[in-house]
Homo-oligomer: A and B are copies of this chain.
Amino acid sequence: MGSATLDDVAKRAGVSAKTVSRVANGERSVRDDTRQRVLRAIEQLDYRPNLLARGLSGAHAYTIGLVYDNPNAYYIIAMQQGALGACDDMHFGLQIRPCNSRAPSLAEDLRDFVHRSRLSGLVLTTPVSERMASLQRLASYHIPFVRIISAARDPRDGFPCVYVDDRDAAYAITTHLLQLGHVRIGFLRGGKHHHASAERLKGYKDALRDYGVPLREDLMIEGDYVFDHGFRGARRLLDLAEPPTAIFGCNDEIAAGALAAAQSTGLHVPYDVSIAGFEDSPFSRHSWPPLTTARQRADIIVERATRMLIARIRGETVENESFNPELVVRGSTAPPRPKSRRRKRG
């Protein structure tokens, strides 16, 4: 019924349980013929280690936690995929943990989460990874973690991380629009409390500055990472006396809102107005026209972070790593059309 245990295998192979344990965990100090004998017994009995027993007995449970606070389903799934891939590969388990990154008790909640299941460590994604005070506390509890953050360069603050250069990608998108000939470019900001959002705004501003285009406050609109903000923000922009000829949404959902707003006004994208997003979510591929955006491989990023974490847990020293989102040009951006020829329908 319940599958075979170490002892069963040990008896069959004529060795002690500890030796079977050694073989199962790939330890070196087992003579080759013994190892073969044990492996055969394991196979014959179809033995599978009991993860609970291993976790209870050992120093930790060979399981990591993936922590996120994000409303974006595609993002979460991509992250889970990345984490699961690395975990399967390294024979670790995975526990998922949605949470509220702004809860004052964040660090304590996570500590309990870790202790209750004896987790080996945590992968912290944005924006949880940006709550420095909580990270300090987590570190003081001796809980290993690796963060994924938005930064142009290695923060070197002692907390290991994978850092993603959002500024650079936003710069690339803005440059793309500028090179098409756009000058009035609207910016729909998202996630006031997300560092990534500030970085993207920075990239936008830097590009305008480098191209000698003056910033216009009325073209930058604050809001959240949601469709509705994109819709209303774009409406507001398009209702200006001098509306922008291009709109850059801080993520694909905002851009989707902007796209809907433009189309609902009877504007043709990209001929009447260009729209760009950020993320390369499936939405950006499935809308019409498909969105110009920045490709962010959340799955690969999280997979790297997970491998780093496991390496750290094993006591290896790890280097921080960086990722650069890349520009993906699709049908939603084109050169601006002379104002006179702009038309409305509907």
0 or 1 for each of A156-179: is its CB under 8 Å from B? (1 = yes): 000000000000000000000000
- Name the one of B73, B118, B253 contacting A73, with C-beta atoms under 8 angstroms: B73
With A and B bound together, what is the CA distance between A80 and B95 in angstroms?
A: 12
Per-position 1/0 for A81-98, Cβ under 8 A of B: 100100000000111101
What B residues does A73 contact at CB under 8 A?
Answer: 73-74, 76-78, 282
Question: How many Å lie between the Cα of A73 and that of B257 in the bound state?
Answer: 19
| Set of chain B residues within 8 Å of A118, measured between Cβ atoms | 50, 52
Which stretch from A20-28, A197-205, A285-293, A300-308 is at the chain B interface? Answer: A285-293
Judge whether A181 is part of the interface by a CB distance below 8 angstroms. Answer: no
How big is chain A's contact interface, by range?
A: 35 or more
Contacts A74-B73, A76-B73, A287-B287; A116 near B49 (Cβ below 8 A): yes
- Chain B residues with CB under 8 Å of A50's CB are 56, 115-116, 118
> Which residues 1-47 of A have a CB within 8 angstroms of B?
1-3
B56 touches A53 (CB 8 A): yes
Among A99-114, those with CB < 8 Å from B are: 112
Kindly supply a per-residue 1/0 record for chain A positions 274-315, scoring 1 wherever the CB is within 8 Å of any chain B CB and 0 otherwise: 000000001101111110000000000000000000000000
A122 is an interface residue with CB less than 8 A from chain B: no
A69 CA to B175 CA in the complex, in Å?
41
The answer to whether B96 touches A48, judged by C-beta atoms less than 8 angstroms apart, is no
